[in-house]
Structure 1
């Protein structure tokens, strides 16, 4: 289950990077900020997964 969650988190981070890049390219600050928020959210989720893995002994 952890690997699937990490894959989803990485996909969310990649989507955030794309959205941020599109926002920068088009001058859309809201889109850029939303992309940054998605990346931060994915990073936090990954940190949680890493903590869970540490307690499981992986």
Structure 2
């Protein structure tokens, strides 16, 4: 294997690992954002339902 092929393989592997790590961290960020959004919406529904049942 020539030096050029070794360097190309190493760089492509490095780029693949970097993209994988970035993708996984972005998916975790989106998951937590969605969870916070849904939780906030459910909290508002519970508050309004509680208020309507008290009136």
Q: CA deviation at 1:39?
A: 0.5
TM-score by length of 1: 0.50
In the other structure, the counterpart of 2:17 is: 33
In the other structure, the counterpart of 1:57 is: 41
Higher RCO (C-alpha under 8 Å, 6+ residues apart): 1
Runs of 5+ unmatched residues, structure 2:
1-7, 43-55
Higher radius of gyration, 1 or 2:
2
Runs of 5+ unmatched residues, structure 1:
1-25
CA offsets per residue over residues 11-57 of structure 1, 9 Å max, x none?
A: xxxxxxxxxxxxxxx64101111001101000000000011001111
CA-based RMSD of the aligned residues comes to: 1.7
TM-score by length of 2: 0.53
Aligned residues: 33
